[in-house]
Copies of this chain bind each other. A is one copy, B any other.
Amino acid sequence: MNFDYNEEQQLLADSVRRYLAKSYDFEARRKIVAAEGWSTDAWKQFAEIGLTGLPLGTDHGGFGGGAVDLIGVMEAFGEALVVEPYVPLVLAARALERGAKSSPLLSSVVEGRARLAFAHTEKGARYALDAVQTRAKESRLSGEKSAVIGAPIAEHFVVSARGEDGIGLYLVDRAATEVKPQRTLDERLAGDVVLREAPAHKLSGGAALLEETVDFATALLCAEAVGALQFACDTTLEYLKTRKQFGVPIGTFQALQHRIVDMYISLEQARSMACLAASRADSAGDARERARAISAAKIRVADAARHVSQEAVQLHGGMGMSEELKISHTFRRLTVLAREYGDVDHHLARYAAL
């Protein structure tokens, strides 16, 4: 039992934090969001630091890392509100590696040359993974995947679709699709992906691989949320110490003290569950144990996201509403994180059924 990062994990997290501090502060991020919504420089740096290779095996030049290895990175991303579609890349690449081991795309991913996205969401499905309307027939996909994170800049999609033998994942070239770009509530690039008899390569693994991939994503998201929660708590604490009313810092008011204490308690409880989620994503005994841990973590993290984000804005007063302060953007991110890959109700139902 230990909660240390090992040396490699620490080095990786430090590299990422250094890069973000230097080149991805709130102002830099604002410019990225106002422009194209992603940064080629960031993408290049991620590859250089080793992020793009981390989740893939050594066969492809990667490091074979798991969710635990990414905790520090995701926390840093959450704190900095990184908008680059890194998680979709990880998901698609991992699924591809598991479902088509020899794909030549994988070494391109490691080198930071290939951009992939993971297209599993559809309108009307809410958070159910098995409500898939997209059809696979004779290696061609037809249907529409919606709100696919990173779609506008993806060159390939890993897509969930229903074939004759059930739900599976398929690799599709972006050129065979039509992408309608959007921005999410938390300012990320997304898009609807229209498939009209798009040629596709079927991956092995079926619905189990889809579920495993989304559980892995949820574990990463929990760690990302912890970073965002930490920022929300810390910046609110700082505000309470500096903002004066009635001649004293507002942090001297006991009602506000008790409320920020409860925010930090939520943060610590969420952090614990994020640790559990990453740990079980990597090494659960079976799919049920993994799913229980992931859903439990998402429940607690989503509750914390709601509680902390709402309180952080409230305790900031008007300033919390202003888009000039980072906290309002963290609020948006936490609002989305609480729902992405399943909201509390979805995971309560899943947890109870397991």
Of A117-125, A250-258, A298-306, the one touching chain B: A250-258
Complex Cα distance, B253 from A257, in Å, reads 11
- Oligomeric state, in copies: 2
Complex Cα distance, B253 from A258, in Å, reads 11
Q: CB within 8 Å of B: which of A75-123?
A: none
Q: Nearest chain-B residue to A257 (Cβ)?
A: B255
Q: In the complex, how many angstroms separate the beta carbon of A155 from the nearest chain B beta carbon?
A: 48
Q: Which chain B positions have C-beta within 8 A of A255?
A: 254-255, 257-258
Chain A interface size band reads under 10
Instruction: Scan A227-264; emit 1 where CB is below 8 A from any B CB, else 0.
Output: 00000000000000000000000000111111000000
Complex Cα distance, B257 from A256, in Å, reads 12
Q: Which chain B positions have C-beta within 8 A of A258?
A: 255
Complex Cα distance, B259 from A254, in Å, reads 12
Complex Cα distance, B258 from A254, in Å, reads 10
Q: Nearest chain-B residue to A256 (Cβ)?
A: B254
Q: In the complex, how many angstroms separate the beta carbon of A177 from the nearest chain B beta carbon?
A: 42
Q: Which chain B positions have C-beta within 8 A of A257?
A: 255
Instruction: Scan A253-280; emit 1 where CB is below 8 A from any B CB, else 0.
Output: 1111110000000000000000000000
Complex Cα distance, B254 from A257, in Å, reads 10
Q: Which chain B positions have C-beta within 8 A of A254?
A: 253-256
Complex Cα distance, B255 from A256, in Å, reads 8
Complex Cα distance, B253 from A256, in Å, reads 11
Q: Nearest chain-B residue to A261 (Cβ)?
A: B255
Q: Nearest chain-B residue to A259 (Cβ)?
A: B255
Q: In the complex, how many angstroms separate the beta carbon of A314 from the nearest chain B beta carbon?
A: 13
Q: Among the interface residues A253, A255, A257, which one has the most CB atoms of the partner chain B within 10 A?
A: A255
Q: Nearest chain-B residue to A258 (Cβ)?
A: B255
Q: Which chain B positions have C-beta within 8 A of A253?
A: 254
Q: List 7 A-B contacts (CB under 8 A).
A: A253-B254, A254-B254, A254-B255, A254-B256, A255-B255, A255-B257, A255-B258
Interface pairs A-B: 7 shortest CB-CB: A254-B255, A254-B254, A255-B258, A255-B255, A253-B254, A255-B257, A254-B256
